[in-house]
A and B are shown apart, each in its own frame.
Chain A
Amino acid sequence: MKIKSQRDFWSGLMFIVVGVAFAWGATAYSFGQSARPGPGYFPFGLGIILAILGALVLFKALTIETEGGEPVGSFAWKPLFVILGAVVLFGLLLPWLGLVITLPLLIFISSMAGDEFHWGEALVNSAILTVGSWFIFVYGLGLTIPMWPTIFGAGN
């Protein structure tokens, strides 16, 4: 058996796995009866439907011929890790270090994800966006965001 469409093969597999996982998880909750459906009723049914749809997608991927096999293509690992890493770091550090340090850090690190990266530009961009964000979100909209590192004792 040869895979005719790589994309659909993996999509189908993903739907089956997620569907089965949700349906299996739903068995932990009371199912009820049709007349009095419990909390597990709806997710169990949906999980089964998703798994069936996934199986259909998988079946199509194995039977119907496509042009060039529809490959998934290479993953852009660098942007994926750099961007999401910068975001996670932002989430972790913001409560401790405040916006003044974490936001430039986020902007600077994420700038490295692209093909063109210049130190000077990234620094200027960080500075402008941090001041701009403070102006819009903190000054303009009055949102409470930790601004300074907590070690300075300033809190918010």
Chain B
Amino acid sequence: MDLLNNLALGFGVALSLQNLAYAFFGALLGTLIGVLPGLGPVATIAMLLPSIYALDATPALIMLAGIYYGAQYGGSTTAILINVPGESSSVVTAIDGYQMARQGRAGAALAAAGLGSFFAGSVATLIVAAFAPPLTELAFKFGPAEYFSLMVLGLIGAVVLASGSLLKAIAMIILGLLIGQINTDVISGTPRYSFDIPELTDGIGFVAIAMGVFGFGEIIANLGRPAEHREVFTKDVKGLWPTRQDFQDAWPAVLRGTGLGSLLGVLPGGGALLASFASYTMEKKIAGDKGRFGKGDIRGVAGPESANNAGAQTSFIPMLTLGIPPNAVMALMVGAMTIKGIQPGPQVMTSNPQLFWGLIASMWIGNFMLIILNLPLIGIWIKLLTVPYRFLYPAILAFCCIGLYTLNNNNFDVFIAALFGIVGYVFYKLHCEPAPLLLGFILGPMMEENLRRALLLSRGDWSTFLTRPLSAGLLIAAALMVVVVLMPTIRKKRQEAFQEED
């Protein structure tokens, strides 16, 4: 009954007044940014990182986690009501959800999304609690060679699902790894690429990169586009509850979505986006000709929404057990842990059980809060959409700049972020995805250290990565992923799936 004891410990931590408040604040903020298109969880978490210096590790991570799954919820609200997915993972929700809203059934769609997500979130929390400890045990068997191979797998997994060209995505990872090389070499103490600037010998702060590329770069890109005209259905949201028929249609889709999402979330690079696409495709296949997909089928909302929430939750597993972030948000969470002096990895569970189980328990509490928050407050979220962008972006800038300055009480990070703002805008123009770059940047120093330690141990023999069974298995899995994506039929499917995103 370890599981129950651990969960009890977790709930004890998560139910303290302070942690409840941070979970609530995170969920609220997450919903807020999820509702606002153009402001995603990556930018928000990057923005908040400096402020967590003032917090303890547990409430800080609980709050950041709340932002992450709150954004998944909020994104679906706008997807259904105004056909603008606030988050990439709710892109498919917009297809049928918006059609339902146009037929005056926005209430049913929102309720299906909310209840489905809550169910999926609850199941996924249990899965995280049950599978994290055994995976952690496995992680202790990892040597430097295994860690290196695992990171290769993680990085490849992340780009296989990136929307654009695979080649460019891999190049972006390498670019990220290289930017991560601007630091002082851990083993020999040599400063690298510092150009005698003392601030650069500590490396570039990833907050500065994230804010520059995701915050500044995207604001410039948004301002460069002509303003969109939006059609809002605010007045039509009435009759919140779905009918009996809706329930009968929706619940098998919720079950399937939860299962699929939980599975895909664990895979490196998986997570919410892939889960919702896969679930929509599956529901469409299962329904066959009887489905009204594309014309407002409730299954097209319930399935993908459950899947993306389950996936968002289980993507914590690789981060918590191995310290390896499967996506950009998790990469920021790893950064947050490091800021608080916690080395992410398998030892977190034993060295910081309060943090580990508290975070897991808070996921369920956060999900519960979200359903309370979202269903009655839908009217308020809609109002927010009327805040014009010309008020919004100066506010984002202000928060970013204050955050950047307070990182080290120094204006150096402000300038670095401005530089990366240009870089981010160039990436946007060239259709180079910045998320893999951030992953590479975070993993760069870890990868180098493990590579060099593995080579030291094997006396310079590169074959060590293939002769050690665990390491070889991970590398083969990475190679398989690339091969599968390059196969002509899958390649076509992948293009189709991402076409809808553009």
Chain A contact residues, CB within 8 Å of chain B: 7-8, 10-11, 14-15, 18-19, 22, 25-26, 29-30, 33-39, 41-43, 46-47, 49-50, 53-54, 56-57, 60, 70, 72-73, 75-76, 79-80, 83-84, 86-88, 90-92, 94-95, 99, 103, 106-107, 110-111, 113-117, 121-122, 125-126, 129-130, 133, 137, 141-145
Q: Does B8 contact A (CB under 8 A)?
A: no
Contacts of A57 in B (CB 8 A): 165, 167-168, 171
Determine the chain A residues whose CB is within 8 A of the CB of B429 once the complex forms.
7, 72-73, 75
Cβ-based interface call for B185 (8 A): yes
**Would A88 and B399 count as touching, CB distance under 8 A?**
no
User: Are A22 and B167 touching (Cβ within 8 A)?
Assistant: no
Does B21 have its Cβ within 8 Å of any Cβ on chain A?
no
Interface size class of B (residues with CB under 8 A): 35 or more
Q: How far is the CB of A53 from chain B (nearest CB, A)?
A: 4
Interface locus among B137-145, B359-367, B412-420: B412-420
Whether the pair A15, B216 counts as a contact (CB closer than 8 A) is no
Beta-carbon contacts under 8 Å, B152-169 to A: 165, 167-168
With beta carbons under 8 angstroms apart, the residue of B50, B174, B216, B397 that contacts A46 is: B174
Structural contact, A137 and B224, CB atoms closer than 8 A: no
Which of B399, B405, B460 has a CB less than 8 Å from the CB of A36?
B460
A34 touching B54, Cβ below 8 Å:
no
Inter-chain contact A42/B448, CB cutoff 8 Å: yes
In the assembled complex, B220 has its CB within 8 A of some CB on chain A: yes
CB distance from A140 to the nearest CB of B (A): 9
Residues of B within 8 A of A7 (CB): 429-431
Please list 17 pairs of residues, one from A and one from B, whose beta carbons are closer than 8 Å in the complex, sorted by A's number: A14-B430, A15-B171, A25-B192, A38-B188, A43-B193, A79-B220, A80-B220, A83-B223, A84-B220, A95-B411, A106-B397, A111-B390, A113-B393, A114-B390, A117-B390, A130-B398, A143-B402
Most B Cβ at <10 Å: residue of A39, A88, A145? A39
Q: Is the CB of A8 within 8 A of B165?
A: yes
Q: Select from chain B the residue with minimum beta-carbon distance to A47.
A: B178
Chain A residues with Cβ below 8 Å from B221 are 76
Establish whether residues B405 and A76, one from each chain, have CB atoms under 8 Å apart when the complex forms.
no
Q: Is B486 an interface residue (CB 8 A)?
A: no
The answer to whether A18 and B175 touch (CB under 8 A), given A83-B220, A143-B54, A144-B409, is: yes
Most A CB within 10 A of own CB, among B177, B181, B431, B460: B181
| Residues in B lying within 8 Å of A, measured CB to CB | 50-51, 53-54, 165, 167-168, 170-171, 174-175, 177-178, 181, 185, 187-188, 190, 192-193, 216, 219-221, 223-224, 227, 388-391, 393-395, 397-399, 401-402, 404-406, 409, 411, 414-415, 417-418, 421-422, 425-426, 429-432, 448, 451-452, 455-456, 459-462
Distance in angstroms from B463 CB to nearest chain A CB is 11
For A33, A41, A79, A121, which residue has the most chain B Cβ atoms within 10 angstroms? A79
Measured between beta carbons, the chain B residues less than 8 angstroms from A95 are 411
Measured CA separation A144–B408 after assembly (Å): 10
Task: Tell me which of B174, B193, B402, B448 contacts A53 (CB under 8 A).
Answer: B174
The answer to whether A39 touches B188, judged by C-beta atoms less than 8 angstroms apart, is yes
Task: From the candidates A18, A54, A79, A137, name the one contacting B223 in the complex (CB within 8 A).
Answer: A79
Q: How far is the CA of A54 from the CA of B275 in the complex (A)?
A: 31
Partner of B462, one of A34, A75, A113: A34
Chain B residues with CB under 8 Å of A53's CB are 167, 170-171, 174
Q: Cβ of B389: which chain A residues have Cβ within 8 Å of it?
A: 114
The residues of A that contact B53 with a CB separation of less than 8 Å are: 143
Q: Name, among B185, B397, B425, the residue most crowded by chain A CB atoms within 10 Å (CB to CB).
A: B397
Query: Which B residue's beta carbon lies closest to that of A49?
Result: B174
Contacting residues, chain A, for B393 (C-beta < 8 A): 110, 113-114
**Assembly CA distance A135 to B455 (angstroms):** 52
* Cβ–Cβ contact B460 & A83, under 8 A: no
In angstroms, Cα B463 to Cα A34, docked, is 12
* A76 in contact with B390 (CB, 8 Å): no
Given A11-B432, A87-B421: A145 touches B167 (CB 8 Å cut-off)? no
The 7 closest A-B pairs by CB, nearest first: A76-B224, A35-B460, A34-B460, A91-B414, A39-B185, A79-B223, A91-B411
CB neighbours (8 Å) of A79 from chain B are 219-220, 223-224
Q: Please indicate which of the listed interface residues B167, B188, B193 has the most CB atoms of chain A within 10 Å of its own CB.
A: B167
Find out whether the CB atom of B397 lies under 8 angstroms from the CB atom of A110.
Answer: yes
- A94 in contact with B411 (CB, 8 Å): yes
The answer to whether B181 and A88 have CB atoms under 8 Å apart is: no
What residues of chain A lie closer than 8 Å to B177, measured between beta carbons?
A: 46
Known: A76-B220, A91-B405, A133-B402. A29 touches B460 (CB 8 A): no
Specify which chain A residues have a CB less than 8 angstroms from the CB of B394 in the assembled complex. 106-107, 110-111, 122, 125-126, 129
Cβ contact within 8 Å between B406 and A144:
yes
**A87 near B216: Cβ-Cβ < 8 Å:** yes
With contacts A8-B168, A29-B190, A79-B220 known, is A15 near B175, CB below 8 A?
Answer: yes
Q: For residue B192, which residues in chain A have a CB less than 8 angstroms away from its CB? A: 25-26, 29, 39, 43
